[in-house]
Structure 1
Amino acid sequence: MEDSQRMVRRHYREKKELQARIQSMKNSVPKSDRKRRKQLLLDVARLKAEMEQKHQQELEKFQESFPDDSNLDSVTEDLAKMDLENQPPRLAKAQRRRERRAAAEGARLERIAEVEAERQAGFRHDDEEEKLSAILEARNLEMKEIPADGHCMYRAIQDQLVFSVTVESLRRRTANYLRKHVDDFLPFFSYSETGDAYSRDSFLSYCDDIVHSALWGGQLELRALSHVLQTPIEVIQAYSPVLVIGEEYAKKPLTLVYLRYSCSLGEHYNSVKPLEAGAVGGAAPRLF
């Protein structure tokens, strides 16, 4: 029975942690940003579904391990009734005191980690800008800032093209290419939270989101775009060599800059432009 109680308490703790994470996600997206709020609702629904599936699988495994446990029905009932608003099963006072002390210590260590993370983030922010500025200056280039609105990768590609094309068209053509080449791309898609591979239906749903939302693009979408445009795409990074995608094409590469730390909203892509006269030694633009 102790194992079952531990499982119940852990499931409750994991649900409360997910609740806090969801609230943090909601707070980070302005209510006025309808596209990102729509994507947020999809992400929240997926996270909840993944946790429910995980807990159900653990319960079924527990049932298989203890088929004759006379207390199993009550454990199953506890798990079935539990949601983000319920309280966990009653614990002994000594156990509650131990958990409160552990929670307080955990909060203290977490705050220390947050302070250190903030310090490191500030250092990485400045260091990344300096490295990128030096790399671009050596190529007689400078960064051209692209809005951090979820479309940044597509807008950066749009800025690099010599012909007129809309972001909506780039998204649609990317999604169509991915759909037509499912077997080539599906093995590389997985959920970042769990590492579980996408199903075919999940992959096709992801393609729909590319078209109908401000879903951020990454290396796999760039791979699709290089084929769509039949043009190589190079991505300049501060801490890794230049990444070239679509080397099989002979055209002049489109050039993007990838920022990991310098944008407060997270990972970001900018475009580039020729270095302006008198701008040598200037710092890369700050993103807020």
Structure 2
Amino acid sequence: MDQPMSLEEIEAKHRREKKELQAQIQGLKKIAKNDKTKKKELTIEIAKLESELELRHEEELAALDNAPGEPDDTASLEDEDEVPKVKLSKAQKRRDKKQQQDKERAEQIKLQEKENLHGPRNIEIQSITNKLKERKLSIFSIPSDGDCLYQAVAHQVLATRSNTLSVEDLRMQVATFMRQNKEDFLPFMSNPNTFEMLTESEFNDYCDEIVNTKVWGGQLEIRALSNSLKCPINVIQASGPECIEQGAEFEGPPLIITYHRHMYKLGEHYNSTQAICESDS
């Protein structure tokens, strides 16, 4: 018959099993890295695996506390006429401690959510959302990957003109237009280190970066997009002018995008817009 494991052996076993579980979880995360549906399923599966392992560890520790040959410390009666004095087991103490930690964590989460509710990000989103509602529009989320301006414009071109343009197409059009109209852009561009106007070489490097990298686009790129696509672009924002209009001289419905200063920690961001369905409103 196998000898029962000591507390030290059980704790060592638990540490080993936790490491093995973490390795298993990392493997699962790699599989679902670029699949949003699998990520949601994976989150549920991970929580289940962690919960099952934690419950089994608690049961093993509780079984050790109540093993034969050891005094039962859950309760003791010193005298039949005295009120029983309850002494908590080690397992119960661990459960009580975990319950208290979970309670404190839940309170901290609620407090953080309350602070976020009145934080700059949520205030900005609410302001933009209200302005879009007046136009019967809502925010259409665009990934934050450096291509947000171009992806937002591509989404608008498809929605308003049924024309499909890739991010690469738009970046090439912007760089080409800026090169062909250098005198209209160069005076507004400066070196971030010296604050001097860009040299001819630096300007060409900037245009090359637009085409070959995920460099973020701003007001100058919006101007180039409007002119190269020959359509108006409206930018809705929370502070400053409510709507920045570019290319008002062009005909047709404007491409309407949103500008966010506080959407992500990495910095500024652009989203697209979409019509509000009657069911949504």
Which band: TM-score by shorter chain? 0.5 to 0.7
Could you say which structure has the larger radius of gyration? 2
CA distance in 2, matches of 1:121, 1:178: 41
Aligned to 2:262, what secondary structure does the other structure show?
coil
Structure 1 residues 168 and 122 mapped into 2: Cα distance closer, same or farther (>3 Å)? Answer: farther
For the 8 Å contact 1:121–1:261, the answer to whether it is kept is: no
Aligned partner of 2:258 in structure 1 is 257
Distance (Å, rounded) in 1 between the aligned partners of 2:143 and 2:248: 28
**Normalising by structure 1, what TM-score?**
0.54
* Equivalent of 1:141 in 137, 151, 157: 137
Q: Aligned residue for 1:276? A: 277
What SS does the aligned partner of 1:235 have?
strand
1:1-26 CA-partner distances (Å, limit 9, x unpaired) = xxxxxxxxxxxxxxxxxxxxxxxxxx
Q: How much has 1:176 moved relative to structure 2?
A: 0.5
Q: Report what 2:199 is aligned to.
A: 199
Give 3-state SS (helix, strand or coil) of 2:178's partner. Answer: helix
Q: 1:179 is matched by which residue type in structure 2?
A: R
Aligned to 2:146: 150
What SS is found at the alignment partner of 1:157?
A: helix
Match of 1:127 among 87, 102, 123: 123
- Write the deviation string for residues 121-154 of structure 1: whole angstroms up to 9, x where unpaired: 9721121011011001111100000010100000
**Under a length normalisation based on structure 2, what TM-score does the superposition of the two structures give?**
0.55
Aligned-residue sequence identity (percent) comes to 38
- Look up the match of 1:181: 181
Q: How many angstroms does 1:193 deviate by?
A: 4.8
- What is the alpha-carbon distance in structure 2 between the residues aligned to residue 121 and residue 267 of structure 1? 20
SS in 1 for 2:266: coil
5+ residue gaps, structure 1: 1-118, 281-288
Q: Which runs of 5+ in 2 are unaligned?
A: 1-114
Shift of 1:188: 0.4
3-state SS in 2 of match to 1:195: coil
Higher relative contact order (CA closer than 8 Å, sequence separation 6+) = 1
Q: Deviation of residue 120 (structure 1)?
A: 10
Give the secondary-structure state (helix, strand or coil) at the position aligned to 1:273. Answer: strand
| Matched residues, number | 162
Provide the rounded CA distance (Å) in 2 between the counterparts of 1:122 and 1:262.
14
* C-alpha distance in 2 between matches for 1:236 and 1:181: 26
Over the aligned positions, Cα root-mean-square deviation in angstroms equals 1.9
Distance apart, 1:225 and its partner CA:
0.9
